[in-house]
Amino acid sequence: MDTPGNNVNNVNNVNNVNNVAEPVASFLAAVNAHDRQAFRDTFTQDSVVNDWGQVITGRDNIEKWSDTAFVGSQPHFTVERTSTTDGTVTVIGDWRSTHANGPSRFDFDIDGDRITTMTISEG
């Protein structure tokens, strides 16, 4: 149910991310294009990623982690649902890659045009 502060959108095609807040839309496009630089550019210098409990801090370390576990794993993410609640953007969908597969949830905190935190968990 949509309530103030809780905006829910269904997105059936990952290429149609018009209803996803920036910089998350750019992040999703970079992931599916396997674009390392564009992926890196969506994060702040001191961003934090929590990948199912593994915490990675700082853009340089996130890039190293991503080379194996994320963008470097030839991923494809199909967006199924998005929502924004109290400033946190949530994207739920199906993740496919050479590293991991399955339903996934991504929660993003944003500062301006950059991601400050990204938490990955079961979708």
**CATH number of the domain within which 38 lies:** 3.10.450.50
Counting the structural domains of the chain, the total is 1
Asked if residue 1 belongs to a domain, the reply is no
Q: Is 13 exposed, middle or buried (0-12, 13-18, 19+ CB in 10 A)?
A: exposed
Contacts of 10 (CB under 8 A, 6+ apart): 80, 81, 82
- Is 20 inside a domain boundary? yes
Cα separation, 10 vs 12, whole angstroms: 6
Per-residue confidence (pLDDT) for residue 111, from 0 to 100:
96
Residue 78 within any structural domain of the chain: yes
State which residues form the domain around 56: 6-122
CA 118, 107, 38 angle in degrees (round to 5)? Answer: 50
pLDDT 10s digits, 74-84:
999 999 999 99
Is 12 within a domain?
yes
Q: Is the pLDDT of residue 66 over 50?
A: yes
Asked if residue 108 is part of any domain, the answer here is yes
